[in-house]
Amino acid sequence: MDLKKINELIDLDYVQKTLLELVSIPSVNPPQDQGEEKAARYLARKLEELGAEAHVDQVSPGRANAVGILGGTQGPTLVFNGHLDVVPADEGLWDTPPFQPEIKDGRIYGRGTTDMKGGIAAMLGAIKVVNDLGIPLRGRVVASFVCDEEAANLGTLDFLERYPKADYAIVGEPTGLVLAVAHRGVARFRIVVARPGRPCRPACLRGKRHRTHESSNLCPPGLPPVAPSQKAPPAAFAKLRGHHGPSRREGQRHSRSSRNHH
């Protein structure tokens, strides 16, 4: 069947209703009231209705992934990936309650509509139209809706341990409807700086930003500073913690690779 024709047959009412119901579940991260598990159980029911072999995989108390498997074991595997968790919402900054989604002028307003429950609803809509039209799969589709994307990726790590490697993946993160074919990746480091007699004072850094080479006095002997002309990957310190005793500081550094891998 022509792809344009398939697109026209997508059940948009189903997608909209799914999104409204999913946004109504406050799956906030840091976790509150088992919100991520409630969202996972809701999506597992939706996947079962679509004929999938559905699983709710417990990641930690109150936190779970929803996974649905369609198709056979032969052929390539395509993963639909989305995350259940949303960042907290300050209701005082909202015109409407963030977890009571409303439709205004053709748009849905609510926490997580874009990042990224809208993507999850669209993926369920895609699975539904394939089912409705009786299109046979030449491989397997795995819907992977995970918890804790906004923090430590516990849900993704759990999914990777439980399920076989996939051949392809579609991630529903918002990109302004522009197709992105690569991701720079992310790395997390724990950095310990210790140098007798050379105390570093995190308090003096509050409210200030320092270039790497300007803070090079914190580096161990023999490690050259970064020259002003050199480019480093985007990075941020998430935590900086001091210890009693000889000058010792720990920091958690989040760094994104500057290379795109195709």
> Which are the catalytic amino acids?
85, 149
Does residue 111 contact residue 35 with C-beta atoms inside 8 Å?
no
**Residue 72: how many other CB atoms lie within 10 Å:** 11
How many Å apart are CA 262 and CA 259, to the nearest integer? Answer: 10
Where does residue 121 rank: exposed (0-12), middle (13-18), buried (19+ CB within 10 A)?
buried
How many Å apart are CA 115 and CA 119, to the nearest integer? Answer: 8
How many Å apart are CA 9 and CA 73, to the nearest integer? Answer: 28
- The DSSP H or E segment spanning 169 is strand 168-171
What Cα–Cα distance (Å) separates residue 107 from each residue in 29, 50, 96, 174, 247? 24, 26, 13, 15, 54
The C-alpha angle 97, 103, 107, rounded to 5 degrees, equals 110
β partners of residue 192: 250
What Cα–Cα distance (Å) separates residue 217 from each residue in 40, 83, 86? 48, 41, 39
Give the pair of three-digit tokens for residue 159.
């999914």
How many Å apart are CA 22 and CA 16, to the nearest integer? Answer: 10
